[in-house]
Structure 1
Amino acid sequence: MKKSRFTEAQIVAVLHEWDAGAKTADLVRRHGVTEQTLYRWKKKYGGLQVSEAKRLKALEEENRQLKRLVADQALNLQVVKDLLGKKW
């Protein structure tokens, strides 16, 4: 997964600035992002504080690791079933 140039704190700061009334065009130009990126950030981080955004990122990482673990276990289980199902 591509690493973002912006930290959660920076993203939340940009969104708070946008909510305070800054113009979209000015924010896009100043921070070097597209309008689409701003709207994607607002969808994901809108209304969050910095600590909440960091917690969200940590939970997403933990979820990613757990999904990988479940996939590995399912694969191991399938291999064992295939081996035990064969007639020797």
Structure 2
Amino acid sequence: MYGDFLIDIATVEGAIPDRDVAQAFRIHYEKKESPISYFNERLIGARYFKGLDGLRFFAKMGWDHAYVELRDRLLSMTH
């Protein structure tokens, strides 16, 4: 995509069950001695960014259950 690549990670992180894709990326970059600055904060921002887009889509489609589930997940995110 464009912008912060953590948005791409936030987009695909749920696609692989039982695997923490975001942490795998973090570990990979640390092993390359190129740690991702402000990783946790940027990942949270990316999750909110994608989540708000998801809320917009679910509202437009009238998918109330999906909307409420995603809304609750976003509201429960902490630093």
* TM over 0.5, shorter chain: no
Query: Which has more helix, going by share of residues?
Result: 1
TM-score by length of 2: 0.39
